[in-house]
Structure 1
Amino acid sequence: MKSKKTNFGLWALAWPIFIELLLQSLLGTVDTIMVSRISDNAVAVVGLSGQLFNALMTLFVTISGGAGILIAQKLGAKRGEDARSIATMGVTICAVIGLGISILLYTQPRALAGMLHVSDELLPLWETYVSLFGGGIVLTSLIAALSTAIRNTGNTKAPMVIGIAMNLIHIGMNYVLIFGLFGFPEWGLFGVTVSGNVSRLIAVVLLFYIFMNSFERKIRFADFWIFKPKLLREILNIGWPLGINMCGWVFSQLTIYAFISILGAKELAARTYMNSMESFCFMLGYAIAIALQIQVAHLYGAGKNEEAYRGAFRGLGIGLALVMVNASVLFFAGSSLLGMFTKDPEIVAIGTSLLALNLLLQPGKVMNMTLNNSLNAVGDTRFTMIVGIVSMSIVATGGSYLLGIHAGWGLIGIYCSMIADEWVRGVIVLRRWMGKKYLFRSRTGSEVDAASKSRETSLSV
């Protein structure tokens, strides 16, 4: 067997994730600008369909998320073979689920448009994008499963490099296929679907190669047919609340987007542009949150509970500081940045009105990301699920309708509801983590024995 040396220090895990997210956001912004050259309607379709894709993706996030946490825990407890088996089962199940979603999106775009109240002017673009780009979502499911498994072995650099390559290929092909350069036809939004599917396929091939060599014993193709019921139950026990929680969040966002679509295409385009800009605010905080989940799960598996407890607060402090700096920069430069996306003065005015509220939104979001991830890392996924579902349903979605639609506040009212939701959940999960209820719960004898054997492993921060 080969020895796999990995570093589970917070910064060692976080910086590749940050670089990947940064370049994804930059390239995503370029992508949005390119799509905006087709039309603002095309941007609205991409934004709304993205929410639909996220909603359906929760079905395989249930598996990949639960598997990822367990991989880090098992490696921390020196149970590498269990981690390897969990990884292969996770990839196989995600592939099957992703294939089913792809078939749904490819065959039923018009029915889905009716459910989301897509206007007649957007329908032709919607059918093209949802059926063709959405039809390749099986590739997204494989990317999620493979990247999550690789990251939770402590190797965050490989997904970073492959993610950057995928996005560069996507942007390059967009440039050629949208505008019809170098003898290619001018395909518009159809060109975006082609470049998206080709770039995702290349990423899957590269990630698969890395994945096969990520554990002490190399993974063989035959291993993907092996299922161990006990380990599968562990994946589902952690994973199903993660899936429901994310499903609740995505459906909340999808419903909110439906409310925005009622307000009009300009509001929908403005929200899509703001999403691209806001991603720059929290990306470093999000990278810290992802890295923190991996580190806390590894520490917890090793039985180092006090280190895990302190590490969560350290990650929270770092994330808050970074996000507030970024949000302040966006506040002062946001109106100019919006002009890069669209020349429509009404859309620019709508987006500018939201910049001050973003200063309140981002710190609550960071608190949620870091402490939710810490609770999930130790297996407390049912608590985060309950808190998330209740708050997102009542505060975020219900508040968005009452303030944004019923009271007539428009996007301002919707943003106020989103801010309230983030802070309510943030305060609740903070109190849960401070109570240490789940972190120091009683564990089975086998878990204690495995953890005690790994106490000599030191983690750098």
Structure 2
Amino acid sequence: MLAKIREGGVMSRSEKLNLIIQLSIPSILAQVTTVLMFYIDAGMVGSLGAEPAAAIGLVEPATWLFGSLVSAASMGFSVQAAHFIGANDFEKARAVMRHGYAFGLSFSMILLLITVLIAFRLPVWLGGGVDIQHDASMYFLIFSFAIPFHLIEVLSASMLKVSGDMRRPSLMAILMCVLDVIFNFFFIFPTRTLTIAGWQLMVPGCGWGVAGAALGTLLAFVSVALPLAYFAIFRSSILAWKLDVERFVWRWQYVWNAVKIGAPMALQYLLMNGAQLVSTMIVAPLGNVAIAAHSFGITAESLCYMPGYGISEAATTLVGQSVGADRRDLHRSFAWMTVLMGMGVMAFMGIIMYIFAPEMIGLLTPVPEIQALGTSILRIEAFAEPFFAAAIVAYSVCVGAGDTLKPSFINLGSMWLVRLTLAYALASHYGLRGVWFAMAVELSFRGLMFIFYLYRHLRQKKL
């Protein structure tokens, strides 16, 4: 059905819905399994106590920051590839992918150097206690070496997705989750005796705790990144480099176009994740229980909003190819259908999160104080999920159309002017619950802003 977009075929509403679902389901599964990887990390480390959990929670926003910069660099090239594929110009799509690997790997090495230089100062800057600073530094340092492999994984997966291949990236995301569990099982815990069906089994282990969790995640990224690159470069029916008949020529225009698309996203991610770091600094004085509950709450909530990100990836592919094929009718239709679907799915997930909040937090930590606080903040956040979906999917619609500047300003303005201001004002009186109330208010406001932006620009044919 993707070929219908490129070839100018007429699509019924049911065909559009079917195409959205076909592209969304593998992506949703991939997003959920990726979050499960972090969920399992948190649960395994959380079983060691509040301090190891707080150590990871302290620097986790910084790992997201550098990971999101990698995503921005990749997106600048994958959006161009989607437009060329929509226009049936596969040769240029492959040229863009080659530029993406060369530029992206260079960029990722710069990020790696920065992370290594700041690793042992970061926990101090974030206000972490002396009891968790060393573990936090080691987690961040080891995790940093995953950045180049994360770039390969993200760029390869995004290129395959915009070409219409959602299956391979999704399967590899599931494999990454499974490998992470296996690696963590041996790296985090010491050698111990397990009782299974009455039998005692000696299980070897390294006992590296927080550092073991980071190493397990690093190896999982490496194990998935290389096969994904192989599929994109050698096996894809559209993107395989062997299909090129002319010699590769470097064109700075592709890099410049990627910078124009990716730079606003990178700035947005930088400031958005910077805001997350500021939020962590607001939470840090509340103590290790609050830091751990905050981290676990974010991990648990991500299981609910990852379906929205899965639908958003489908939106980027469909809108990107529609724009490339100059199909404005499909562009508008896919935009609204994906936004409404995302809101419906995440409204349902919000209900699930509200009902099962105690169980979701209970799987991550045995500490009663953390469980009680984590349950209350998840139930506050549940009410914002539909509007969060609107912000996620509408932003991806804009990305697919190559419009990243103004949507980035919406994200930044909402985060810095609404969330942080309100969180700072409420934290001293209401603690972590006040911080999460501010988050729920801001996400609802941001979702409404994106709905208005999308409505106005689609109506005026500016998007």
TM-score by length of 2: 0.88
User: 2:75 maps to what in 1?
Assistant: 65
Q: Distance in 2 between matches of 1:42 and 1:247?
A: 26
Asked whether the equivalents of residues 64 and 94 of structure 1 are also in contact (C-alpha less than 8 Å), the reply is yes
User: 1:156 maps to what in 2?
Assistant: 166
User: 1:115 maps to what in 2?
Assistant: 125
Find out whether 1:279 has 2:294 as its counterpart. no
Deviation at 1:209, TM superposition (A): 0.4
User: 1:200 maps to what in 2?
Assistant: 221
Note the 1:248-263 alignment, pairs <5 A. Answer: 248-263=271-286
Deviation at 1:263, TM superposition (A): 1.3
Q: Distance in 2 between matches of 1:267 and 1:54?
A: 20
Which of 285, 310, 320 aligns to 2:333? It is 310
User: 1:401 maps to what in 2?
Assistant: 424
Higher mean C-alpha displacement, 433-442 vs 24-33: 433-442
Deviation at 1:386, TM superposition (A): 1.6
Find out whether 1:92 has 2:102 as its counterpart. yes
User: 1:179 maps to what in 2?
Assistant: 189
Which of 234, 240, 254 aligns to 1:218? It is 240
AA partner of residue 315 (structure 1): T
Higher mean C-alpha displacement, 252-261 vs 411-420: 411-420
User: 1:455 maps to what in 2?
Assistant: none
Q: Structure 2 vs 1, CA of residues 147 and 184 (structure 1 numbering), >3 Å: closer, same or farther?
A: same
CA deviation digits over 1:193-220, x for unaligned, max 9? 3222222111121011011033546327
What is the alpha-carbon root mean square deviation over aligned residues?
A: 2.4
User: 2:387 maps to what in 1?
Assistant: 364
User: 2:12 maps to what in 1?
Assistant: none
Note the 1:344-423 alignment, pairs <5 A. Answer: 344-405=367-428, 408-423=429-444
Which of 310, 315, 319 aligns to 1:296? It is 319
User: 1:448 maps to what in 2?
Assistant: none
Deviation at 1:32, TM superposition (A): 1.5
Q: Distance in 2 between matches of 1:28 and 1:278?
A: 12
Find out whether 1:106 has 2:129 as its counterpart. no
User: 1:142 maps to what in 2?
Assistant: 152
Question: What is the identity percentage for the equivalent residue pairs of Structure 1 and Structure 2?
Answer: 19
Deviation at 1:438, TM superposition (A): 9.1
User: 2:30 maps to what in 1?
Assistant: 20
Q: Distance in 2 between matches of 1:185 and 1:299?
A: 51
Asked whether the equivalents of residues 268 and 408 of structure 2 are also in contact (C-alpha less than 8 Å), the reply is yes
Asked whether the equivalents of residues 38 and 189 of structure 1 are also in contact (C-alpha less than 8 Å), the reply is no
User: 1:191 maps to what in 2?
Assistant: 212
Q: Distance in 1 between matches of 2:141 and 2:150?
A: 15
Deviation at 1:158, TM superposition (A): 0.8
Deviation at 1:309, TM superposition (A): 0.9
Q: Structure 2 vs 1, CA of residues 64 and 235 (structure 1 numbering), >3 Å: closer, same or farther?
A: same
Asked whether the equivalents of residues 308 and 342 of structure 2 are also in contact (C-alpha less than 8 Å), the reply is yes
Q: Distance in 2 between matches of 1:154 and 1:6?
A: 12
Deviation at 1:175, TM superposition (A): 0.6
Deviation at 1:184, TM superposition (A): 4.0
User: 1:45 maps to what in 2?
Assistant: 55
Q: Distance in 1 between matches of 2:329 and 2:31?
A: 30
Find out whether 1:336 has 2:359 as its counterpart. yes
Find out whether 1:244 has 2:250 as its counterpart. no
CA deviation digits over 1:411-459, x for unaligned, max 9? 22212222222222222221221123698349xxxxxxxxxxxxxxxxx
CA deviation digits over 1:212-235, x for unaligned, max 9? 033546327x99985312222221
CA deviation digits over 1:279-314, x for unaligned, max 9? 222222221111111111111111111221122221
CA deviation digits over 1:64-118, x for unaligned, max 9? 1121212111111112122111112112222112222223323431222222122
Higher mean C-alpha displacement, 275-284 vs 360-369: 275-284
Asked whether the equivalents of residues 51 and 254 of structure 1 are also in contact (C-alpha less than 8 Å), the reply is yes
Asked whether the equivalents of residues 89 and 226 of structure 1 are also in contact (C-alpha less than 8 Å), the reply is no
Asked whether the equivalents of residues 139 and 204 of structure 1 are also in contact (C-alpha less than 8 Å), the reply is yes
Q: Distance in 1 between matches of 2:272 and 2:259?
A: 19
TM-score by length of 1: 0.88
Deviation at 1:26, TM superposition (A): 3.0
Q: Structure 2 vs 1, CA of residues 131 and 205 (structure 1 numbering), >3 Å: closer, same or farther?
A: same
Q: Distance in 1 between matches of 2:388 and 2:108?
A: 28
